[in-house]
Amino acid sequence: MFCEKKKSKKKIKVKCQPQLHPKDQWIPIGTGNYYKGKWNYRTMSGDGIYVMQNGAVYEGNFDDGLFHGDGSMYYPSGSRIEGVWEKGKCVQQNYIFSDGLRFQQNNWQYCKVPDRRFAIEHVNGFESAARSNITNRQPTIAVPNGAYDAGDGFYWPLTNTVHDYWTSELIRVPTVECSNWIIQNCHRGGKRVIGFQPEFYKNWYSTTGENEGESTAADNKSSKQFIHDHQSVMAEIKSVPWFDLSLRSIIQ
């Protein structure tokens, strides 16, 4: 393949390297993964889709064989990361759970006073009082006494390990930061006395005329804050592409 470039009255012939592979074919990568998209003369470059052995799928831009630019990482659980990448490293990210809940690094208002609804209740509304949701996952999984529901399995503080819900197989050993977060935020099994929680009453509700004005002001402020936060709490699910890109289907 040759490219012609005119300079003055002379024709200069410059040899252009062809793409290493066709952009519309699945190409196996040495790591056991598969790629379909644009190439330069030696590696992945441009828009493409990269399927990994664990079922995760990256769709976005590549440069010199690395994730680079705008791209999204889709996980088998249905969650995804919309981000900006620089030479294989994600430098800006927005994590979205499978139910459409959008995580916020700072000032995340999900499931906090005054609005403690789960994501499923944002979408479907409240159940009746006798059928209130204990967790966002339905049906609710019974958590053993002393364990925590870590989202992907039961976390046991004594061993600092997370085990599969059904098989009890070891999944992971969380870091100190992760284990502290689980203990502070996740649902714990067994019965325990919580005690009086003033933030559930004092800041948002009133029963006497004396403090009625203060509570109303707090309610109005928190309601406006929630309306603002609600616009970014839930992501638009309909626009998300659905990937069915198992390695088995690609190889066949």
Running DSSP on this structure, what letter comes out for residue 199?
G
**Pick from 50, 51, 110, 61: nearest CA to 90:** 61
- List the domain boundaries for the chain: 27-96, 108-140, 141-190
Q: Which residue has the tokens 């005329």?
A: 209
Produce one character per residue of 4-26: b if its CB has 16 or more CB atoms within 10 Å, e if not: eeeeeeeeeeeeeeeeebeeeeb
Question: Counting every residue, how long is the chain?
Answer: 252
Digitized pLDDT (tens) for each residue of the chain, 252 residues in all: 444 445 555 666 656 667 667 777 888 887 789 999 999 888 899 999 999 988 899 999 999 999 999 999 998 878 899 999 999 999 998 898 887 888 877 777 777 777 778 888 877 888 877 777 878 778 888 899 999 999 889 999 999 999 999 999 999 999 999 999 899 888 899 877 777 766 666 555 455 444 444 433 334 434 334 333 444 566 655 444 556 666 666 655
Cα–Cα dist 44/33, whole Å: 13
Cα–Cα dist 187/143, whole Å: 8
Across 75-163, where does the E strand assignment appear?
80-86, 89-96, 148-149, 154-156, 161-163
Q: Which two tokens stand for residue 144?
A: 């053993």
**Pick from 195, 188, 148, 154: nearest CA to 171:** 154
